[in-house]
Chain A
Amino acid sequence: MSAKFEADARVRVNCTVNGKRHTGYAEPRTQLCDFLRHELHLYGTHVGCEHGVCGACTITLDGRLARSCMTYAVQAEGAEIGTVEGLSEPGTLNPLQRAFSDHGALQCGFCTAGILISTTYFLADNPMPSEQEVREMLSGHLCRCTGYEGMVRAILSVAGGGS
Chain B
Amino acid sequence: MDGPGEPWVGQAVPRLEDAALLSGNARFIDDLAPVPGIRHVALLRSPYAHARISKVDITEAAALDGVYGVLTGAELVTELDPLASAVRAPVDYFPIASDKVRYVGEPVALVAAVDRYVAEDALERIVVDYEPLPAAVDPVAALEDSAGQVHERVGSNLVHHRTFRYGDPDRAFDEAAAIVSLDWRYPRQASTPIETYGAVAHYEEAPERYTIWSNFQGPFILQPLMARALRVPGNRLRLVAAPHSGGSFGIKQGLYPYLVLLAAASRMLGCPLKWIEDRSEHLMASSAASDRADSIEAAFDQEGTLTGLRYRNLVSVGAYIRAPEPASVYRMHAASNGCYRTRNIAVDNRLVLTNKTPIGLNRGYGGPQFFFGLERAMDKAARSLGVDPAELRRRNFIPANAFPYDAPAGALYDSGDYAKGLDLALELADYEALKARRDAARAAGKLFGIGFACGVEPSGSNMAYVTLAQTPEERAKTGGRSGGAAVATVALDPSGAATVTLDSTPAGQGHATAAAQIVADGLGMRPEEVQVVTTMDTQNGDWSLASGNYANRFSAIVVDAIVESTDRIAMKLKAVAADMLEVAPDDVELSGGRARIAGVPDDGIALARVAAATHWHPAGLPEGLSPGLREAATLSPDVLDAPDEQDRVASAVTFGYICDLAAVEVDPKTGRITVETYVSVHDVGRVLNPILVEGQVRGGFAHGFGAAVMEDLVYDSEGNFLSGSFADYACPTAADLPPVTVGHVETASPANALGSKGMGDGSSMLTPAVMANAVADALGRDDVELPLTLDRVWRLAREAS
A111 within 8 A of B: yes
Mask for B6-29, Cβ within 8 A of A = 1, else 0? 000000001101111111111110
Q: Are A139 and B733 in contact (CB under 8 A)?
A: yes
Q: Are B725 and A43 in contact (CB under 8 A)?
A: no
Residue of A nearest to B31 (CB): A43
Residue of B nearest to A88 (CB): B23
Q: Are A148 and B737 in contact (CB under 8 A)?
A: yes
Given A53-B725, A54-B194, A107-B508, decide whether A44 and B731 contact each other with a Cβ distance below 8 A: no
B100 within 8 A of A: no
Q: Are A43 and B19 in contact (CB under 8 A)?
A: no
Q: Are A110 and B246 in contact (CB under 8 A)?
A: yes
Residue of A nearest to B195 (CB): A110
Q: Are B698 and A149 in contact (CB under 8 A)?
A: yes
Mask for A132-154, Cβ within 8 A of B = 1, else 0? 00111011111111111111100
Taking the closest CB of chain A, its distance from the CB of B194, in whole angstroms, is: 4
Taking the closest CB of chain A, its distance from the CB of B515, in whole angstroms, is: 16
Given A44-B25, A139-B735, decide whether A101 and B194 contact each other with a Cβ distance below 8 A: no
Taking the closest CB of chain A, its distance from the CB of B706, in whole angstroms, is: 9
B726 within 8 A of A: yes
Mask for B185-206, Cβ within 8 A of A = 1, else 0? 0000001111110000000000
Q: Are B23 and A142 in contact (CB under 8 A)?
A: no
A29 within 8 A of B: yes
Taking the closest CB of chain B, its distance from the CB of A157, in whole angstroms, is: 14
Q: Are B735 and A144 in contact (CB under 8 A)?
A: no
A48–B703 CA distance with the chains assembled, in angstroms = 18
A85 within 8 A of B: yes
Q: Which of A85, A104, A108, A147 contacts B245 (CB 8 A)?
A: A108
Taking the closest CB of chain B, its distance from the CB of A71, in whole angstroms, is: 16
Q: Which of B508, B509, B725 contacts A49 (CB 8 A)?
A: B725
Find chain A residues with CB under 8 A from B196 CB: 48
Residue of A nearest to B27 (CB): A43
Q: Which of B19, B195, B244, B727 contacts A53 (CB 8 A)?
A: B727
A66 within 8 A of B: no
Find chain A residues with CB under 8 A from B191 CB: 144
Q: Are A152 and B734 in contact (CB under 8 A)?
A: yes
A135–B245 CA distance with the chains assembled, in angstroms = 26
Taking the closest CB of chain A, its distance from the CB of B192, in whole angstroms, is: 6
Q: Are B23 and A87 in contact (CB under 8 A)?
A: yes
Of B14, B698, B699, B727, most A-chain CB atoms within 10 Å:
B699
Find chain A residues with CB under 8 A from B280 CB: 51
Find chain B residues with CB under 8 A from A156 CB: none
Q: Which of B28, B726, B734 contacts A54 (CB 8 A)?
A: B726
Q: Are A108 and B733 in contact (CB under 8 A)?
A: no
Given A48-B194, A144-B194, decide whether A101 and B15 contact each other with a Cβ distance below 8 A: yes
Q: Are A51 and B727 in contact (CB under 8 A)?
A: yes
Q: Are B247 and A108 in contact (CB under 8 A)?
A: yes
Residue of A nearest to B510 (CB): A107
Taking the closest CB of chain A, its distance from the CB of B189, in whole angstroms, is: 12
Q: Are B14 and A84 in contact (CB under 8 A)?
A: no
A109 within 8 A of B: yes
Find chain B residues with CB under 8 A from A87 CB: 23-24
Q: Which of A30, A100, A141, A148 contacts B702 (CB 8 A)?
A: A148
B507 within 8 A of A: yes
Residue of A nearest to B693 (CB): A104
Given A51-B727, A143-B194, A144-B192, decide whether A106 and B24 contact each other with a Cβ distance below 8 A: no
Q: Which of B23, B117, B195, B278 contacts A93 (CB 8 A)?
A: B23
**Please, how many residues of chain A have a CB less than 8 angstroms from a CB on the other chain?**
56
Q: Are B733 and A138 in contact (CB under 8 A)?
A: yes
Find chain B residues with CB under 8 A from A84 CB: 22-24
Q: Are A109 and B735 in contact (CB under 8 A)?
A: no
Q: Are A151 and B734 in contact (CB under 8 A)?
A: yes
Residue of A nearest to B196 (CB): A48
Mask for B707-750, Cβ within 8 A of A = 1, else 0? 00000000000000000011100010111110010000000000
**Please, how many residues of chain B have a CB less than 8 angstroms from a CB on the other chain?**
54
Q: Are A142 and B14 in contact (CB under 8 A)?
A: no
Taking the closest CB of chain A, its distance from the CB of B753, in whole angstroms, is: 26
Residue of B nearest to A155 (CB): B734
Q: Which of A44, A48, A147 contacts B701 (CB 8 A)?
A: A147
B279 within 8 A of A: yes
Taking the closest CB of chain B, its distance from the CB of A9, in whole angstroms, is: 13
Q: Are A113 and B194 in contact (CB under 8 A)?
A: no
Residue of A nearest to B742 (CB): A149
Find chain A residues with CB under 8 A from B735 CB: 135-136, 138-139
Given A49-B725, A108-B508, decide whether A144 and B702 contact each other with a Cβ distance below 8 A: yes
Taking the closest CB of chain A, its distance from the CB of B552, in whole angstroms, is: 15
A139–B740 CA distance with the chains assembled, in angstroms = 18
**Which residues of chain A from 2 to 38 have any CB-CB distance to chain B below 8 Å in the complex?**
27, 29-30, 37
A61 within 8 A of B: no
A47 within 8 A of B: yes
Q: Are A108 and B18 in contact (CB under 8 A)?
A: no
Mask for B30-41, Cβ within 8 A of A = 1, else 0? 110000000000
Q: Are A104 and B725 in contact (CB under 8 A)?
A: no
Find chain A residues with CB under 8 A from B245 CB: 108
Q: Are B23 and A138 in contact (CB under 8 A)?
A: no
Find chain A residues with CB under 8 A from B694 CB: 104, 150
A149–B22 CA distance with the chains assembled, in angstroms = 17
Q: Are B699 and A147 in contact (CB under 8 A)?
A: yes
A136–B735 CA distance with the chains assembled, in angstroms = 6
Taking the closest CB of chain B, its distance from the CB of A52, in whole angstroms, is: 9
Q: Are B691 and A104 in contact (CB under 8 A)?
A: yes
Given A138-B733, A144-B249, A145-B508, decide whether A37 and B22 contact each other with a Cβ distance below 8 A: no
A106–B280 CA distance with the chains assembled, in angstroms = 25
**Which residues of chain B from 229 to 245 have any CB-CB distance to chain A below 8 Å in the complex?**
244-245
A88–B45 CA distance with the chains assembled, in angstroms = 43
B620 within 8 A of A: no
**Which residues of chain B from 256 to 287 have any CB-CB distance to chain A below 8 Å in the complex?**
278-280
Taking the closest CB of chain A, its distance from the CB of B361, in whole angstroms, is: 15
Find chain A residues with CB under 8 A from B22 CB: 84, 93, 97, 100-101, 106, 109, 112, 116
Q: Which of B508, B698, B734 contacts A139 (CB 8 A)?
A: B734
Taking the closest CB of chain A, its distance from the CB of B11, in whole angstroms, is: 14
A67 within 8 A of B: no
Find chain B residues with CB under 8 A from A29 CB: 117
Find chain A residues with CB under 8 A from B740 CB: 147, 149
B4 within 8 A of A: no
A48–B194 CA distance with the chains assembled, in angstroms = 5
B695 within 8 A of A: yes
A112–B397 CA distance with the chains assembled, in angstroms = 42
A27–B117 CA distance with the chains assembled, in angstroms = 10
Find chain B residues with CB under 8 A from A85 CB: 23-25
Taking the closest CB of chain A, its distance from the CB of B407, in whole angstroms, is: 31
Q: Are A110 and B28 in contact (CB under 8 A)?
A: yes
Taking the closest CB of chain A, its distance from the CB of B416, in whole angstroms, is: 25
Find chain A residues with CB under 8 A from B20 CB: 109
Given A37-B31, A138-B735, A151-B734, decide whether A146 and B695 contact each other with a Cβ distance below 8 A: yes
Please list 28 pairs of residues, one from A and one from B, whose beta carbons are closer than 8 Å in the complex, sorted by A's number.
Answer: A30-B117, A43-B31, A44-B25, A47-B30, A48-B194, A48-B195, A49-B279, A51-B280, A51-B727, A100-B22, A102-B14, A104-B694, A107-B509, A108-B508, A110-B247, A113-B24, A116-B22, A134-B734, A135-B734, A138-B734, A138-B735, A142-B194, A142-B731, A144-B249, A145-B508, A148-B734, A148-B737, A149-B737
Residues of chain A at the chain B interface (Cβ within 8 Å): 27, 29-30, 37, 42-51, 53-54, 56, 83-85, 87-88, 90, 93, 97, 100-102, 104, 106-113, 116, 134-136, 138-152
Query: Top 6 closest A-B pairs, CB basis?
Result: A44-B24, A109-B21, A108-B508, A110-B246, A107-B508, A138-B734
Residues of chain B at the chain A interface (Cβ within 8 Å): 14-15, 17-28, 30-31, 117, 191-196, 244-247, 249, 278-280, 507-510, 691-692, 694-695, 698-699, 701-703, 725-727, 731, 733-737, 740
- Beyond the given A84-B22, A100-B22, A109-B22, please list 11 additional residue pairs across the A-B interface where CB-CB is below 8 A: A29-B117, A49-B279, A104-B15, A104-B694, A108-B246, A110-B195, A140-B733, A142-B733, A144-B192, A147-B698, A147-B699
